[in-house]
Structure 1
Amino acid sequence: MPEIPVLPAVWRFPAHPASVGRARHAVVGVAPRQLHDELGLIASELVTNAVRHGTRGDDLVELVVWPADGHYWLAVSDPGDGKPSVGRWPAPDAESGRGLVLVDALAAAWGVVPRAYRGKSVVAGLVFPPAGM
């Protein structure tokens, strides 16, 4: 009989800035201790982007976390049609623009995946166990 894989953890949050902290807390609650800081930061940045740029009104942001293939994966989905990309590092006094630069620096891999019915998912993975452990 095949081994049953670990099921992903799934949350849906309102498209509101208060959801960023709730998403970070949710991820830290299911992630291995060694990945709390990195996965928490990635969740914060991706949910912030989804709330600011991918939603409006009563939309929801979906967060999924799961282990697979030696990584811990995190996906944040929203109904927006924009395709996030890493731009240049913002000016030192800029109040935004660092999110995907940080995700790019932390994640072993990340990308944007279109959803079949509407919107996109931004998926990022961290190697587990972390190097040097």
Structure 2
Amino acid sequence: MSRARRIVVESLPGALRPHLGDDLRLLTSELVTNAIRHGTCPADDSLIELVLWPADGHYWLAVSDSGTGKPAVAYPGTDAEGGRGLLLVDNLAAAWTVRARPSRGTSVIAGLPLRQRD
């Protein structure tokens, strides 16, 4: 997990790291954790793919896995120890979506704006 966070943040241009680094670390952590827990099968030797790119005033992160489920925001009770990952993504990202991959699997794509929030 720490390797994924480090690689994604190091892929940003240096000038953007102070602005986007922390949010991008959190997005990476939540989306990769979900992919590991819900989208891969150890017997299948599944891989997780991360792609980061700038477009339309945002930096977009796609995390893809071989799973077929459609992730959705959950609203766990106050005593629940987990289940808030996509709720964090929903509040942090300017936009996010789930897409089926052409051959097999699912991608969750989230965008962070390049400009400062008000």
Structure 1 and Structure 2 fold alike (TM over 0.5): yes
* Alpha-carbon distance in structure 1 between the residues aligned to 2:52 and 2:78: 32
What is the TM-score when the length of structure 1 is the normalising length? 0.80
- Find the aligned partners of 1:59 and 1:25 in 2 and give their Cα distance: 21
Q: Deviations 1:56-106 (Å, cap 9, x if unpaired)?
A: 111100000011110000000000000000121x22332210100000000
Question: Which ranges of structure 1 fall in alignment gaps of 5 or more residues?
Answer: 1-19
Structure 2 stretches lacking a partner, 5+ long: none
In the alignment, which of 37, 43, 51 is matched to residue 52 of structure 1?
37
Per-residue deviation at 1:128? Answer: 0.3
Greater helix content: 2
Q: 1:97 aligns with which of 83, 95, 102?
A: 83
Counterpart check, 1:75 vs 2:75: no
Aligned pair count?
112
Q: CA offset at residue 21 of structure 1? A: 1.4
Which position in structure 2 is the counterpart of 1:118? 104
In structure 1, the residue matched to 2:48 is 61
Matched letter for residue 73 of structure 1: W
Q: What's 1:21 paired with?
A: 2
Partner of 1:37: 22
Identity of aligned residues (%): 62
Runs of 4+ residues over 6 Å off in structure 1 = none
